[in-house]
Structures are given as structure tokens and as C-alpha cells.
Chain A
Amino acid sequence: MKAKVHVTLKNGVLDPQGKAVGHALESLGFQGVGDVRVGKYIEIELAETDPAKAKAAVTDMGKQLLANTVIENFTVEIV
């Protein structure tokens, strides 16, 4: 099975990259663009066949390496 991991900056952590993307969208003429936040998307192929075990393992991966929990949150989806 496969895990899809989204890593996003926590609320309250400034995202200068997101801000720059927001400004660029405005300068391209897109109307009504609010706050833009840039994150990461990671796909992981897993040998595990039990979805609950897979989710637990990937959650552990997120805490140890995939996200820096000082500044980032992450979500795990198993498909």
C-alpha cells in the first residue's frame, strides 16, 4: 500500500515563500487570493498490508524525520 503525507507549516509560523507566491498570483491578475501557505507532499510505498499498522508506522516516520514538529504539522493518508 501507499502512504500520502502532507507536511504543512503550523499556524502562526510565518511563510515568506507562501507570501511571495500570493503576491505573484496577484500580479498575474488572479482576484481574491488570500493567505497562501506552501507545504510538502510525500508519497511512500509500503510493504505493510494492514492499514492501521501502516498508518502508525508512517506517523512515526513523520515525527522522526518527515516533519520538523517545532514548525510543521503533518497528516497521513493510507491508500
Chain B
Amino acid sequence: MQAAVIVFPGSNCDRDVAVSLAHIMGRPPLMVWHRDAQLPKVDLVVVPGGFSYGDYLRSGAMAAHSPILRSVKEAAAKGTRVLGICNGFQILTEAGLLPGALMRNRGLKFVCKDVHLSVLRADTDFTRRYRKHQVIRIPIAHADGNFFADDDTLERIEDNGQVAFRYVDEAGNLDDRANPNGSARAIAGLYNETATVLGLMPHPERLADPALGGTDGVPMFESLLEALS
């Protein structure tokens, strides 16, 4: 399988995720500059974390209108898998590929720490190597991760099984103290309706090597490799 990583001015996790992809998939991803109008033919597009365009106007707002995003949207419509991590999640919501919006954290602070997530579904191309309701530890590092959607949208995404991950405590229980940013229904990650696009605030690529202190991010990349090979 072949992956591509989109690089914006201000991306800072593009190389981290490229290392994880190359290591786990055995082939380096193509690095695609935001001004390119045409995405190469790939199986997976990763929209990485960082501060694209300096977070001007709103996090992800400018990147969502960059030339490459038009091509990413077309590819997503045809079923190409798209993974947005942190700023990538913000960009995918701003681009309309995922519902809702990511607002300033409830506590107004940039939060950088490990959190626990519950894996809501283990039947998608992103999560098949996890177990349903498995609790995983993944780092977050963001100021704008407070997921918001109106009540109708929240009901719809719950009914459609679009919630990918929720913030939970270490034992896997929902607890407001385990919600680091005030996200509605503790949503940490979200699928589109066909579960072919995933956005999440936590960084699976940052715990994808024992040398980094953990490997709970590895199954996500293994899942994609297995599903798309």
C-alpha cells in the first residue's frame, strides 16, 4: 500500500507520522506539498498535526481551502482512506469532510499529556487491530480540541456509529475529569458516515515505537496496512 502525507506551512508532525508509516508499512509515504493541485494515486492520505498557516483565523481554516484539499476531498469521495491527526482533524472538520468543529479547550490552556481512549469500534480499516472497548494510552498536544456539534448532529453521529474514540479514565470509565478539553460526549475521534475518513485529536504516531515509551498507536497503522494491502 502507498500512503501520502500532506505538508502545510506550519505542519510539525508530518515527519513523525512519516517515520511511523515507513516503519510499519515498510515503504516511505509520499510527502505532498499543500500547493500541489493533484494528489498522487495513493491508498491513504494523512493530514498531519501542527499549526498550519499559524492557526490564523481558526485552527485549520486556511489549510481547508488550500489547493491540495480539493484533491483530497475528491479522493475521499471515491473512498480513499483519509486520516487527520490533531491539526489534521481540525482541517477535516473545516473542510466539511467531518461534522462539527474543534473549539478552544475548556480550560483555555494548551494541553500536552498522555490520555486514555476507549476504542468504540474495532471493525473499521483504522481500528481492526484493536479490540472493541480496548483502553489505549495516546498523547495529546493541542489548544483547540474541544469538539462541538449541535444536539441533532451529535445524535446523528452517535446513531451512525461515527464516534471512533472517547476520552476515558485508565479503567475505561467515562469521567468528566478524564476529558482534557471539554469535548461534547468526550469525543476524541470521529469517522465520516462510511468510516473511510477518521479525524482524532490524540497523536497515535507519537506512541508507535517502544523507544518513545509506548506502542498503543501501532495497531492503527497495522490496521490500515492490513486493510489496504
- Chain A positions within 8 Å of B, measured between CB atoms, are 12-14, 16-17, 20, 64-66, 68, 70-71
Task: Tell me how many residue pairs across A and B have CB atoms closer than 8 Å.
Answer: 35
Of A14, A65, A70, which contacts B101 at CB under 8 A? A70
Q: Which residues of B line the A interface, CB within 8 A?
A: 57-58, 61, 65, 93-94, 99-101, 103-108, 148-150, 182
Residues of B contacting A: mostly: loop
B148/A13 in contact, CB under 8 A? yes
* Cβ-defined contact, B61 with A71, below 8 A: no
Are A65 and B65 CB-contacts (below 8 A) given A16-B104, A70-B100? Answer: yes
State whether A65 touches B149 (Cβ < 8 A). Answer: no
B61, B106, B108: the one within 8 Å of A65 (CB)? B61
| CB pair B61 A17 closer than 8 Å | no
**Do A68 and B149 form a contact, CB below 8 Å, given A16-B106, A17-B108?**
no
Is A20 a contact of B108 with CB atoms below 8 Å? Answer: yes
- Which residue of A64, A65, A68 has the most chain B CB atoms within 10 A of its CB atom? A68
> How many angstroms between the C-alpha atoms of A65 and B104 in the bound complex?
18
In the complex, A12 Cα to B149 Cα: how many Å? 11
